[in-house]
Structure 1
Amino acid sequence: MTVAFYAPLKAPDHPVPSGDRTMARALIAALEHAGYTACIASDLRIYDGVGDRQVQDDLMRRSQAEVDRILARPDSKNWRCWLTYHNYYKGPDLIGPAVCNALGLPYLQVESTRAAKRLTGPWARFAEAAEAASDQAHTILFVTHRDAETLRRDAPDQQVLTHLRPFLQRADLPEQSDHSGAMLSVGMMRPGDKLASYQLIAETLARLDPDIAWHLDIAGDGPAQAGVTRLMAPFGDRVRLLGALTSDALNERYATARLLFWPGVNEAFGYAYLEAQAAGLPVVAQDRPGVRDVVSGIQPAVPDGADAMAARLTAYLQDPALVETAGAEARDMVSAQHLLPTAATVLRQAIEAAT
């Protein structure tokens, strides 16, 4: 009942927190909840962020050494299957397919991404490896409907595609509290999509009626912190930057906040959405592909921009009953679809079918 687990992009014990690390840890918890022992087969990080041939060559050599090391392990002969989390063109699984071929193990993936357009260009070799790994998988468990589109398009005959919804690493909901505090935003501060979300937050806050009482707490830090500070400076003490918070401290914020405000520019799905809704917070975001997979209710359309998000915030700020109703609906959704027992059942069924 041992499952070999591998996360090429970021191992579960990686020192830097991220959504990838959180998901890897959650998958291990779900495997254990389902009755399996999860064995981390390798902690080799496979990632090429710029398309560097030399980096790819080096990682391929190191991956082959890992394959040889794993095959020499006496316990590998007793593994039931191999499960890889997050295989894509910048971080392909260069280890699992070879080990599974040598040992005759069923090979499964979670959150694999197809990117045919990367088969030419600086990532071509890695993209080929990612596609070959996906082709070999007996089962791919997709996390978002956006990923499912290309997975279905390029799936080989007989491959099984199964929906594993994003989930929290907990079996039940936290206690409900009074959500009368400040609005809350949670996001890493880095250039690109995250900073674009912060830009949208600033544009939205500028459209709020100045006579409406509001405050916003922001949890997060990172290399773009100075930029976020500049964006929020016009709002004075109405916006408070809390820095990076521990899980316990963040849960305390979820317990008292009025709502979660995060536009979600190109989010894969975003754990903050699930954590906030589990605590009973309504969400104000934008209607984006990743957001739709984890947020209760219909969000403002992207073309409607900051004006639509400001209108949604205003409605929540002026109507506590609406906050309560939307928060209860969000909790019900998380309870039904995004907790550990549900994910464990999906994983168990997928593994049993593959083995």
Structure 2
Amino acid sequence: MTAIAFYAPMKSPRHPVPSGDREMARGLLAALAGLGQGGTALVSEFRSYEGQGDPAAQDRLRAEAQAEAARLIQRGRAEGWRLWATYHNYYKAPDLLGPVVSEALGIPYVLFEASRADKRLTGPWAGFERAAGAACDRAQVIYCLTARDREALAAAQPPGQALVLLPPFLNREALPPAARPVLGRLITVAMMRAGDKLASYRQLAAALALVQGEWSLDVIGSGAAEAEVRALLAPFGARVRFLGALPPEGVAAALSEAAVYVWPGVNEAFGMAYLEAMAAGVPVIAEDRPGLREIVPAAGLVPQGDAAAFAAQIAAWLGCAPDRAALAQAARVEVAARHLLPAARAAIRAALPVMQGEAGA
């Protein structure tokens, strides 16, 4: 028996390519487990993502979604589903399943991380944006990962809907061991792709060129833009080590030796890698951007596009071990209090419709 049917239209938690989106989906599955009598299951791996603005492709996805929804309705009736939960509904990957299935089964429907984009109501994604908006309208509860998201959704909040703040969290019950940093070692963990990621690597390279003193950088990640990233960091020679895409245990081992985590975070929504670093006791330097302000402590935020300020912050933290240690401890305390599974379960449970009236809720 399944109490909670879970679905992620943007990227399944079983997707082979690692990303913050995939990790958040896995974390939600772990957090939801046990919150309803009967457990939680990933019920579909149908991917509605359409990134090119191709109406014909979107029509094909809608047709596929109709068939998938019909299958899920039958399964849901057989298994006695009591709630549908979807992670990440937006105009490029709207939830085409949850609203249909939940209505047919007469069960509550909730969203984790959702957005509306009125500017997309005209143009190549207009139909998908209408679908994303309809999913938002249908939801009894929307869990928002940032206060900024909650404020944006409040502008079109239907009567009776709850908008609940759920800070991003790591898929772990407790903190990892604290880092034992190697002197001068910096680290970044990020995919290598065109667009915002490459822009961040470009700004990181500009800052590193201005850092005085001894330093080294471990880069964890891979992707289609790896050649461009290597070219950007080539002037630093052996100071930069490219470690490739590592499994979680490899990332943890690298973080355990890092002194400072450096990543500008151009247009990052919040950034799970920042939380991983902070949990390990590695202080973070990032650009001062709306989403990052809700994750990164103010001491680690520098003005956008200011390579000199970024470099100065790196040099200051590498040059003062006591200050860095204090920042590291404060980061671990913050993550333990707000960004691990126990805190996430408590926030979800407080508003989850399926918990109403259940024994032990």
TM over 0.5: yes
Provide the rounded CA distance (Å) in 2 between the counterparts of 1:100 and 1:353: 13
Amino acid in the other structure paired with 1:200: Q
- Confirm whether residue 208 of structure 1 aligns to residue 236 of structure 2: no
CA contact (8 A) 1:106 1:354 kept: no
TM-superposition CA deviations, 1:73-124 (whole Å, max 9, x none): 2655621211000000000001110111111111100000110110111100
Aligned Cα RMSD in Å?
1.5
* Structure 2 partner of 1:184: 187
TM-superposition CA deviations, 1:192-224 (whole Å, max 9, x none): 000011011100011112xx1111111111111
Provide the rounded CA distance (Å) in 1 between the counterparts of 2:232 and 2:34: 43
Q: State the secondary structure of the residue aligned to 1:289.
A: coil
* Structure 1 partner of 2:247: 246
Aligned length: 353
Pairwise CA distance, 1:172: 0.7
Match among 121, 138, 143 for residue 140 of structure 2: 138
* Structure 1 partner of 2:359: none
* Structure 2 partner of 1:194: 197
CA contact (8 A) 1:33 1:344 kept: no
Provide the rounded CA distance (Å) in 1 between the counterparts of 2:203 and 2:75: 51
Distance 1:214 1:125, change over 3 A: same
Provide the rounded CA distance (Å) in 1 between the counterparts of 2:177 and 2:35: 25
Pairwise CA distance, 1:271: 1.1
TM-superposition CA deviations, 1:160-200 (whole Å, max 9, x none): 00011100111111112322341101100000000011011
CA contact (8 A) 2:4 2:36 kept: no
* Structure 1 partner of 2:8: 7
* Structure 1 partner of 2:280: 279
Provide the rounded CA distance (Å) in 2 between the counterparts of 1:354 and 1:173: 28
Provide the rounded CA distance (Å) in 2 between the counterparts of 1:334 and 1:76: 40
* Structure 2 partner of 1:217: 218
CA contact (8 A) 2:287 2:304 kept: no
Provide the rounded CA distance (Å) in 2 between the counterparts of 1:318 and 1:245: 29
Amino acid in the other structure paired with 1:18: S
Provide the rounded CA distance (Å) in 1 between the counterparts of 2:139 and 2:51: 24
Structure 2 segments unaligned to the other structure (5+ residues): 357-361
Provide the rounded CA distance (Å) in 2 between the counterparts of 1:167 and 1:323: 23
CA contact (8 A) 1:316 1:322 kept: yes
CA contact (8 A) 2:287 2:301 kept: yes
Runs (4+) off by over 6 Å: none
Provide the rounded CA distance (Å) in 1 between the counterparts of 2:302 and 2:179: 30
TM-superposition CA deviations, 1:232-282 (whole Å, max 9, x none): 111111111111111111100111100100111111111110111101010
* Structure 1 partner of 2:22: 21
Provide the rounded CA distance (Å) in 2 between the counterparts of 1:282 and 1:238: 20
Provide the rounded CA distance (Å) in 1 between the counterparts of 2:166 and 2:76: 32
- Confirm whether residue 346 of structure 1 aligns to residue 351 of structure 2: no
Q: State the secondary structure of the residue aligned to 1:111.
A: strand
Q: State the secondary structure of the residue aligned to 2:82.
A: strand
Provide the rounded CA distance (Å) in 1 between the counterparts of 2:136 and 2:277: 33
Provide the rounded CA distance (Å) in 1 between the counterparts of 2:121 and 2:69: 24
Amino acid in the other structure paired with 2:204: I
Distance 1:269 1:320, change over 3 A: same
CA contact (8 A) 2:113 2:142 kept: yes
TM-superposition CA deviations, 1:36-71 (whole Å, max 9, x none): 611222110001101111111101011010111011
Structure 1 segments unaligned to the other structure (5+ residues): none
CA contact (8 A) 2:33 2:40 kept: yes
Provide the rounded CA distance (Å) in 1 between the counterparts of 2:261 and 2:219: 10
Moved more, 27-36 or 303-312: 27-36
Provide the rounded CA distance (Å) in 1 between the counterparts of 2:32 and 2:177: 25
CA contact (8 A) 2:76 2:105 kept: no
Match among 148, 162, 165 for residue 163 of structure 1: 165
Q: State the secondary structure of the residue aligned to 2:159.
A: coil
* Structure 1 partner of 2:87: 85
Q: TM-score normalised to the size of structure 2? A: 0.94
Amino acid in the other structure paired with 1:347: I
Q: State the secondary structure of the residue aligned to 1:73.
A: helix
- Confirm whether residue 32 of structure 1 aligns to residue 33 of structure 2: yes
* Structure 2 partner of 1:230: 231
CA contact (8 A) 1:287 1:298 kept: no
Provide the rounded CA distance (Å) in 2 between the counterparts of 1:292 and 1:354: 32
Amino acid in the other structure paired with 1:315: A
